[in-house]
A and B are shown apart, each in its own frame.
Chain A
Amino acid sequence: MNRITKLGLAAALIALPSLGLAQEADVTPPNEEIGYILNTFMFLVTGFLVMWMGAGFSMLEAGLVRSKNVAMQSLKNVALFAIAAIMYYLVGYNLMYPGDGWTITNVLGAFSPASMEPVGLADTETDLTYASVGSDFFFQLMFCATTASIVSGTLAERIKLWPFLIFTVILTGLIYPIQASWKWGGGFLDANYGFLDFAGSTVVHSVGGWAALAGALILGPRIGKYKDGKTHPMPGSNLTLATLGTFILWLGWFGFNGGSQLYMDTAGNVADISRIFANTNTAAAGGAIAALILTQLLYKKPDITMVLNGALAGLVSITAEPLTPSLGAATLIGAVGGILVVFAVPFLDKLKIDDVVGAIPVHLICGIWGTLAVCLTNGDATFGGQLISIVIVGVFTFVVSSVVWFILKATMGIRVGEEEEISGLDMAELGMEAYPEFTKG
Chain B
Amino acid sequence: MAQFWAVRFSLILGFVFISPVIQRDHPHHNDKGIKVKLIIATIKPFKLEEVREALTDIGVRGMMVTEIKGFGSQSGHTEIYRGAEYAVNFVPKVKLEIVVDSAMADQVVETITTTARTGKIGDGKIFVLDVAQAVRVRTGETNDDAL
Contact = CB atoms under 8 A, between A and B. Distances in A.
Interface of A: 230-233, 235, 298-301, 303, 305-306, 342, 345-346, 349, 358
Interface string B68-93: 00000000000011111010000000
Given A232-B84, A303-B80, A306-B83, 20 more contacts: A230-B84, A232-B86, A233-B81, A233-B82, A233-B84, A233-B86, A235-B81, A299-B80, A300-B80, A301-B80, A303-B83, A305-B81, A306-B82, A342-B83, A346-B83, A346-B84, A349-B82, A349-B83, A349-B84, A358-B82
Contacts, number: 32
Interface residues of B, number: 6
* B interface secondary structure, majority: strand
Contacts of B86: 232-233
Contacts of A230: 84
Nearest to B86: A233
A225 B84 CA distance: 11
B90 to A, nearest CB: 14
Contacts of A231: 84
A232 B83 CA distance: 10
Sorted from nearest, which 4 A-B pairs have the closest CB atoms?
A346-B83, A233-B81, A231-B84, A299-B80
A345 B80 contact: no
Contacts of A301: 80
Nearest to A64: B82
Contacts of B84: 230-233, 346, 349
A342 B80 CA distance: 13
Contacts of A299: 80, 83
A358 to B, nearest CB: 7
A60 to B, nearest CB: 14
A345 B83 contact: yes
Contacts of A306: 82-83
Nearest to A235: B81
A346 B85 CA distance: 10
Nearest to A349: B84
A118 to B, nearest CB: 52
A299 B78 CA distance: 11
Most interface-central of A235, A299, A346 (chain B CB within 10 A): A299
Contacts of B82: 233, 303, 305-306, 345-346, 349, 358
A233 B81 CA distance: 6
Nearest to B87: A232
